[in-house]
Amino acid sequence: MKISFLRFIVLLAVAMSATFSASAYDFIYENLMYSYMADKSKLAVVGRSERSEPIVNLVIPSTITVSGKALTVAAIYPEAFSNDGYLETAKIPGTVTTIKDYAFKDCAKLKSVTMEEGLESIGSHSFSGCPLLTELKIPNSVATIEPYAFRNCVGLASVSLPNSLTKIERSTFNGCKSLKSVTVGKNVSEIEIGTFRSCTSLETVNLPDTLTAIWDSAFYGCSSLKSIKLPSSLITISDRAFGESALTDIELPD
């Protein structure tokens, strides 16, 4: 009886998976798969059609016309281009307000991403593990960057974070070994656990006067970081925040 029941569960799971795959997108338009969002006037990019040629330079349109009706492309769904071995550049229009989790994770050849003003959130792991990503400008409209978003992007050399952010989440830039300079937006109040951990090339960090907390291991293992000025607003420096760094000059607030 147990074997029969387990077999039933497996078959049910397979059937459900097949159903999900079949309904994961609503239509294909110029080599990309799209799904209708809750607001039927808006679309989300689901990924590249398996029937299309590989895409090297991705340009996501701001609108497309379906059955005579103009629809807005407003999101990139989870894992849409994850593990794509051909993608080198991506241009994302301002109509896209959210990039979901794992959207571009482990794109081995991705070198540059252009994000336009209008983007509001970047999901967890959305660009993690993209080793050749060197060009990155985060729009001022971005209010949320989820944990691990750019983890192990070992080619990133500098990052300027927008003033719209209020927190830098856990391990956002963990393992970005080429990252040399960081400018933190002037409204950030917290740098979370492991945010810049193991950024071994990090030399310059500009912190805002709104910062109140630097949490566990935020700059742990930043072996090139020799000096830092901590703002007067800072209240908490947590465990190992600067552990295994090269700090010789620290300006502490009162």
Taking only the tens place, the pLDDT of each residue in 103-137 is 999 999 999 999 999 999 999 999 999 999 997 88
- Find the mean pLDDT for residues 213-221: 98
| DSSP string over 47-105 | EE-TTSPPPSEEE--SEEEETTEEEEEEEE-TTSSTT-SS--EEEE-TT--EE-TTTTT
Output the pLDDT for position 19. Answer: 35
For 132, what's the count of Cα atoms within 13 Å in the CB-facing half-sphere? 12
164-203 confidence digits (pLDDT tens): 999 999 999 999 999 999 999 999 999 999 999 999 999 9
Output the pLDDT for position 22. Answer: 35
Q: How far apart are CA 127 and CA 220, in angstroms?
A: 22
Q: Is pLDDT of 11 > 70?
A: no
- 252 pLDDT tier (thresholds 50, 70, 90): confident
Output the pLDDT for position 136. Answer: 82
Q: How far apart are CA 150 and CA 156, in angstroms?
A: 9
Q: What is the dihedral of CA 23, 28, 31, 37, to 10 degrees?
A: -70
For the chain, what is the mean pLDDT?
91
Q: Is pLDDT of 147 > 70?
A: yes
157-166 confidence digits (pLDDT tens): 999 999 999 9
Assigned token pair, 155: 């080619």
- Find the mean pLDDT for residues 78-95: 97
| pTM (whole model) above 0.75 | yes
- 50 pLDDT tier (thresholds 50, 70, 90): confident
51-65 confidence digits (pLDDT tens): 889 999 999 999 999
Output the pLDDT for position 1. Answer: 42
Residue indicated by tokens 């950030």: 188
